[in-house]
């Protein structure tokens, strides 16, 4: 029976202590580095049992990993689940060598243990070899190492750290698990029973070794070599593990547990954290993120949770159109810098861990200026990230520092800032003209109808933009047709502050939002309906941070209810096919996908889905204050990219129409160069429903139900 010699036991204990302490040293320093992050404005530790349970479930099921790249995720799941199980396997294997016993499949629980170990050994080896081939020998895999030449990359990345790290980690996994795999074959031969129903892969290995006709001495030697190969390698890997991408095995689960929540539920990706602006009145004001330690501690943890899969980069609309922004590079750059700042074992007290400021601003190593201003805040990076990183929120905090501290931002935004500050809208048009959009429609204001069932939040776009005015006018006429008791705020309505907040001007945002919250709290609306998803998101998701808690709904959802309640009847004309574009702030940020489609189907349309739809929808390019500034340099406009996809989808249709549910999407898609002479009509769902209603009336249909 195989057992370690006394000398081997001593050496093993020494290695375990030495490499365990070395690895623990780095883990502790990483903890100290993450703790240097600023306190988070949101409670990340409330209801810990629920958080831990949810984190364990997400980790075990790998539900976030399987959101994209199914076959790659399947290979990764084999590695992850197998490696997790190996926490037990390595302990058992170590004890076998120390105390000279073998776990055999002679009881149901040992049989299940061995079966699990055997199958997961196969899964790990299949997964790591499959991913190795994909990453190093396929075009798709090579993208994991590819960045735009204008993307700012840390010196370590420029020196090949990413592929080197991937190669080292893959080689370690293959060697560690491979040694254990071969060792199990030797164990079966040693017992004299080279076949075990509960160890099919080990049985195959035993059969392969048996063809070499090994002697008893050879088998014993093989057991010693594979024991040290499997367990010695994992001990030696511990110091490297803490500083490699492999650390995500531990940090990703912590990331899940620290997810952003409100009232026990995960927060929408469309919610920007509140910022305390009291320091603006101090002698040394400090807001936003200039250096690493200015980011909240969960977003330093993000750097160590990042798996370097580049999924966020793949879905980033800025990156897809040749711009410098790479959410992946941002996270990897942060980790590379943190690993530098935690120092070596020979540095007793690195300056950063001792509380000194990090030596370089974020804009010198993590992300460059044009990348900061290229983000559309579409949330695709956060939605697709398998480890729940918050790349977009880093960018918002950096923008806050640039705007409120440095005064450095795209000059076009100054016009929008001035308009919001002076007139309550980014167009800068007089607030006295807020009701001109409703000329001739007899729209009641809240002063005229102080107790409406619905408060229609018109929004700045639908108030001042001629194209969006068609949406507000259509929606009002639908409300009137359904005899809904509604009102608008009229001149009391002001910009929600979406543009200000997402461009980094948190001070202006809080001024605008506080004014609106005071107005709404005085009105006490039963239900707020908005035709702009940005307004809906702000009032419903972000105003609660300022004491404004309201029931808010998008107009497509409310119209669906009116149709469902038979208060509004659409005529089924069987129009054929229509395409629908999912706005980021309606879909990805707020989960409204079905209502717009249901309304279109009610009118007899067949939905011709775009390739990138629902949670994978591609941004129009307006969000994140992009609507108010020149688009950052790239190979094409974001709106052109989306419009080209739309044209390709509708090219065979006689009536080329794309439905939208956001005034900014409508404006961007209508005005983008790719749309010129395309013959594609871009209409809001409300416009289409009003056209249907009027057409139904002309054909003798009432369009409304008797009440």
Q: What is the C-alpha to C-alpha distance for residues 33 and 354, in angstroms, rounded to an integer?
A: 10
Reference 471, options 670, 704, 695, 705; nearest CA is 670
State the average pLDDT for the chain.
94
- Give the pLDDT confidence of 323-338 residue by residue, as tens digits: 999 999 999 999 999 9
Least confident of 343-347, 408-412, 613-617, 655-659: 343-347
Assign 703 a pLDDT band (cuts: 50, 70, 90): low
- How high is the pLDDT of residue 145? 75
- Give the pLDDT confidence of 561-592 residue by residue, as tens digits: 999 999 999 988 766 899 999 999 999 999 99
Assign 2 a pLDDT band (cuts: 50, 70, 90): confident
Assign 706 a pLDDT band (cuts: 50, 70, 90): very low
Quick one: what percent of the chain has pLDDT higher than 70?
Answer: 98
Contact between residue 640 and residue 564 where contact means Cβ atoms under 8 Å apart: no
Q: What is the C-alpha to C-alpha distance for residues 122 and 130, in angstroms, rounded to an integer?
A: 12
CB atoms within 10 A of CB 519: 15
pLDDT over 60 at 680, yes or no:
yes
Q: What three-state secondary structure class fits 195?
A: coil
Contact between residue 510 and residue 277 where contact means Cβ atoms under 8 Å apart: yes
Which two three-digit tokens encode residue 233? 């390698």
- How high is the pLDDT of residue 705? 47
Q: What is the C-alpha to C-alpha distance for residues 642 and 619, in angstroms, rounded to an integer?
A: 7
Nearest-Å Rg of the Cα atoms of the chain is 30
Which two three-digit tokens encode residue 240? 């490297």
Say which residue the tokens 């049989």 belong to: 111
Q: What three-state secondary structure class fits 374?
A: coil
Our CA dihedral for 689, 693, 698, 699, rounded to 10 degrees, sits at 90
Q: What is the C-alpha to C-alpha distance for residues 399 and 499, in angstroms, rounded to an integer?
A: 12
Q: What is the C-alpha to C-alpha distance for residues 344 and 333, in angstroms, rounded to an integer?
A: 19
Q: What is the C-alpha to C-alpha distance for residues 494 and 502, in angstroms, rounded to an integer?
A: 17
Contact between residue 519 and residue 455 where contact means Cβ atoms under 8 Å apart: no
- How high is the pLDDT of residue 572? 83
- Give the pLDDT confidence of 422-460 residue by residue, as tens digits: 999 999 999 999 999 999 999 999 999 999 999 999 999
Q: What is the C-alpha to C-alpha distance for residues 104 and 188, in angstroms, rounded to an integer?
A: 10
Q: What three-state secondary structure class fits 104?
A: coil
Q: What three-state secondary structure class fits 454?
A: strand
- Give the pLDDT confidence of 244-285 residue by residue, as tens digits: 989 999 999 999 999 999 988 999 999 999 999 988 888 888
Which two three-digit tokens encode residue 166? 């991937």
Q: What is the C-alpha to C-alpha distance for residues 375 and 365, in angstroms, rounded to an integer?
A: 18
Q: What is the C-alpha to C-alpha distance for residues 116 and 82, in angstroms, rounded to an integer?
A: 9
Mind listing the domains of the chain with CATH numbers?
Answer: 6-44+64-246 (no CATH), 422-560 (3.40.50), 567-698 (3.40.50)
Which whole-number Å values give the CA distances from 685 to 246, 478, 528, 580, 691, in the listed order? 47, 11, 18, 9, 10
- Give the pLDDT confidence of 517-550 residue by residue, as tens digits: 999 999 999 999 999 999 999 999 999 999 999 9
DSSP string covering 244-288: SGGGHHHHHHHHHHT--EETTEEPPTTPPPP---GGGGSSS---S
Which two three-digit tokens encode residue 217? 């001495």
CB atoms within 10 A of CB 422: 11
pLDDT over 60 at 707, yes or no:
no
- Give the pLDDT confidence of 204-237 residue by residue, as tens digits: 999 999 999 889 899 999 999 999 999 999 999 9
Which whole-number Å values give the CA distances from 262 to 32, 226, 319, in the listed order? 27, 51, 31
Q: What three-state secondary structure class fits 393?
A: helix
Reference 381, options 669, 615, 43; nearest CA is 615
Contact between residue 336 and residue 300 where contact means Cβ atoms under 8 Å apart: no
The pTM (predicted TM-score) of the whole model is 0.93
Q: What is the C-alpha to C-alpha distance for residues 42 and 274, in angstroms, rounded to an integer?
A: 8
Which two three-digit tokens encode residue 387? 């480890």
Beta bridge partners, 445, equal 488
Contact between residue 637 and residue 321 where contact means Cβ atoms under 8 Å apart: yes
Q: Which long-range contacts (CB under 8 A, 24 or more apart) does 698-701 make?
A: 699/571, 701/569, 701/571
């Amino acid at each position: 029976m195989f057992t370690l010699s006394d000398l081997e036991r001593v050496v093993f204990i020494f290695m375990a202590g030495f490499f365990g302490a070395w690895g623990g040293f780095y883990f502790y320093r990483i903890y100290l580095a993450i703790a240097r992050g600023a306190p988070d404005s949101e409670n990340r530790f409330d209801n810990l049992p629920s958080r831990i349970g949810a984190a364990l479930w997400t980790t075990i099921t790998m539900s976030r990993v399987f959101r994209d790249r199914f076959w790659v995720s399947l290979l990764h799941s084999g590695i992850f689940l197998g490696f997790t199980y190996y926490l037990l396997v390595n302990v058992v294997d170590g004890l076998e060598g120390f105390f000279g016993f073998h776990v055999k499949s002679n009881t149901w629980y040992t049989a299940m243990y061995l079966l699990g170990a055997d199958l997961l050994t196969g899964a790990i080896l299949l997964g790591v070899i499959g991913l190795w081939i994909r990453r190093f020998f396929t075009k798709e895999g090579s993208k994991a190492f590819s960045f735009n030449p204008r993307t700012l990359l840390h010196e370590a990345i420029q020196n090949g750290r990413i592929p080197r790290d991937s190669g080292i980690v893959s080689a370690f996994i293959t060697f560690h698990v491979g040694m254990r795999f071969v060792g199990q074959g030797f164990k079966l031969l040693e017992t004299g029973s080279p076949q075990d129903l509960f160890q099919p892969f080990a049985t195959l290995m035993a059969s392969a070794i048996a063809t070499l006709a090994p002697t008893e001495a050879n088998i014993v030697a093989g057991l010693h070599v594979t024991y040290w190969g499997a367990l010695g390698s994992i001990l030696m890997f511990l110091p490297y593990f803490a500083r490699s991408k492999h650390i995500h095995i531990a940090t990703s689960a912590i990331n899940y547990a620290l997810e952003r929540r409100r009232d026990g539920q995960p927060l929408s990706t469309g919610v920007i954290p509140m910022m305390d602006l009291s320091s603006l009145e101090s002698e040394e004001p400090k807001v936003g993120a200039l250096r690493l330690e200015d980011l909240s501690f969960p977003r330093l943890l993000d750097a160590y949770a990042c798996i370097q899969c580049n999924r966020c980069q793949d879905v980033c609309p800025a990156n897809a159109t040749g711009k410098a922004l790479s959410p992946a590079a941002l996270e990897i750059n942060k980790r590379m810098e943190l690993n530098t700042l935690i120092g070596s074992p020979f540095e007793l007290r690195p300056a950063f861990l001792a509380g000194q400021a990090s030596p370089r601003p974020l804009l010198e190593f993590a992300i460059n200026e044009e990348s900061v201003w290229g983000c559309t805040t579409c949330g695709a990076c956060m939605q697709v990230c398998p480890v729940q990183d918050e790349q977009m929120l880093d960018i918002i905090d950096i923008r806050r520092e640039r705007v409120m501290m440095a005064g450095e931002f795209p000059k076009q935004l100054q016009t929008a800032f001035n308009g919001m500050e002076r007139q309550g809208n980014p167009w800068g048009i007089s607030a006295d003209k807020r009701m001109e959009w409703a000329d001739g429609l007899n729209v009641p204001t809240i002063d005229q109808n102080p107790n409406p069932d619905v408060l229609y939040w018109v929004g700045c776009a639908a108030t001042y933009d001629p194209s969006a005015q068609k949406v507000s006018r259509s929606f009002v006429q639908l409300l009137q047709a359904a005899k809904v008791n509604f009102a608008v705020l009229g001149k009391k309505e002001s910009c929600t502050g979406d543009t200000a907040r997402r461009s980094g001007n948190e001070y202006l945002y809080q001024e605008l939002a506080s004014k609106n919250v005071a107005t709404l709290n005085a009105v006490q609306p039963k239900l707020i309906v908005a035709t702009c998803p940005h307004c809906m998101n702000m009032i419903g998701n972000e105003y609660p941070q300022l004491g404004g808690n309201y029931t808010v709904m998008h107009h497509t959802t409310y119209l669906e209810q009116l149709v469902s309640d038979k208060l509004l009847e659409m005529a089924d004309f069987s129009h054929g096919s229509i395409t629908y574009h999912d706005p980021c702030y309606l879909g990805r940020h707020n989960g409204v996908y079905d209502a717009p489609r249901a309304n279109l189907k009610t009118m007899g349309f067949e939905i011709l889905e775009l390739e990138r739809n629902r949670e994978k929808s591609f941004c129009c390019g307006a969000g994140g204050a992009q609507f108010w500034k020149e688009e950052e340099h790239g190979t094409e406009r974001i709106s052109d990219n989306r419009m080209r996809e739309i044209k390709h989808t509708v090219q065979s249709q006689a009536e080329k129409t794309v439905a939208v549910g956001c005034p900014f999407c409508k404006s961007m898609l209508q005005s983008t160069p790719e749309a010129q002479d395309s013959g594609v009509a871009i209409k809001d769902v409300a416009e289409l429903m009003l056209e249907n209603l009027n057409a139904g009336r002309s054909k003798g249909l009432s369009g409304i139900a008797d009440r």
